[in-house]
């Protein structure tokens, strides 16, 4: 059974870089079919897609965040990561990783449990 | 970006009620539309993909329909475990975008 688990600091200072890792178990991240995504949800608000990566390293980003986002993959560790630079309070959110059926119809499934990141000094 | 607009933003319903949630895209997205359920404190869970296909393990009381720009999620007989927030999401183009959510509460 595929499982995803986010990890990383829960508190980041303004202007610094948010770094999170998603560990994938139960399947290989070297999937030909699937991609891997980050999505976030500010407290009490809706969902925002951040970016997606393929095992080969090809990436797709939300233009609203593209200048500050880097998603990378480590196939040896079966992990992928998110870096978001120059964070502000507006980046405070629950951050989820998910498998992404980028070329197909299923969207994001399954999701990790999420990790709350607060931006505060 | 394709804007997704759900209505209503919230609704109150009783056990056994038929519940209808709508989602409108700012342009035609064919049938590239998914529905997710999110319970408090939990990650979203895929319910329906390609507008009308039920994800494995999802009860048959959930039905999706629509194509083009207008879509509907129907819960035929609301159960206690269905009280949650529901999101639509388009898979037609990048960036992938979600509706603002519809919160289904107990009447």
Closest CB to B87: pick one of A47, A62, A112.
Answer: A47
B43 contacts chain A (CB < 8 A): yes
User: Is the distance from CB of B103 to CB of B8 less than 8 angstroms?
Assistant: no
Where do we find the tokens 């303004």? Answer: A14
> What tokens appear for A89 in the block?
């309070």
Closest CB to B43: pick one of A61, A62, A96.
Answer: A96
Where do we find the tokens 């342009």? Answer: B27
Neighbours of A28 (CB within 10 A): 12
Tens digits of residue pLDDT in B43-94: 999 999 999 999 999 999 999 999 999 999 999 999 999 999 999 999 999 9
Tens digits of residue pLDDT in A69-102: 999 999 999 999 999 999 999 999 999 999 999 9
Which residues of chain B lie closer than 8 angstroms to A107, CB-CB?
A: 34, 36, 46, 49, 89, 91, 96
What's the pLDDT at A98?
Answer: 98
Q: Which residues on neighbouring strands pair with residue B106, listed in sequence order?
A: B13
A64 contacts chain B (CB < 8 A): yes
What's the pLDDT at A104?
Answer: 86
Q: Which letter, b or e, does each residue of A30-56 get, where b requires 16 or more Cβ atoms within 10 Å of its Cβ? A: eeeebbbbbbbbeeeebbbbbbbbbbe
Q: Cβ separation of A105 and B46 shorter than 8 Å?
A: no
- Chain centre to alpha carbon of residue B25: 13
- In whole angstroms, give the CA distance from residue A12 to residue A89: 10
> What tokens appear for A20 in the block?
């999170």
* 3-state class (DSSP) for residue A90: helix
A118 falls in which pLDDT band (50, 70, 90)? very high
Closest CB to A47: pick one of B42, B44, B53.
Answer: B44
pLDDT > 90? residue B26: yes
> What tokens appear for B106 in the block?
């107990």
- Contact residues for A77 (Cβ-Cβ < 8 A; gap 6+): A23
Q: Cβ separation of A107 and B91 shorter than 8 Å?
A: yes
Tens digits of residue pLDDT in A19-34: 999 999 999 999 899 9
């Amino acid at each position: 059974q595929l499982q995803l688990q986010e990890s990383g600091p829960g508190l980041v200072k303004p202007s610094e870089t948010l770094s999170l890792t998603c560990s994938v178990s139960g399947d290989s991240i070297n999937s030909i079919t699937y991609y891997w995504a980050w999505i976030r949800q500010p407290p009490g608000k809706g969902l925002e897609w951040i970016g997606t990566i393929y095992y080969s390293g090809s990436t797709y980003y939300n233009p609203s965040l593209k200048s500050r986002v880097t998603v990378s993959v480590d196939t040896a560790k079966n992990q992928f990561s998110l870096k978001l630079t120059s964070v502000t309070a507006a980046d405070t959110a629950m951050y989820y990783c998910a498998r992404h059926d980028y070329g197909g119809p299923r969207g994001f499934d399954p999701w990790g449990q999420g990790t709350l990141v607060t931006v505060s000094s | 970006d394709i804007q997704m607009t759900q209505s209503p933003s919230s609704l109150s319903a009783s056990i056994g009620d038929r519940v209808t949630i709508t989602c409108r895209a700012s342009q035609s997205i064919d049938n590239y539309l998914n529905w997710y359920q999110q319970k408090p404190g939990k990650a979203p869970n895929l319910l329906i993909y390609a507008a009308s296909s039920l994800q494995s393990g999802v009860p048959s009381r959930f039905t999706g329909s629509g194509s083009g720009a207008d879509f509907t999620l129907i819960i035929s007989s609301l159960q206690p475990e269905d009280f949650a927030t529901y999101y639509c999401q388009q898979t037609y183009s990048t960036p992938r975008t979600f509706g603002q959510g519809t919160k289904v509460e107990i009447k």
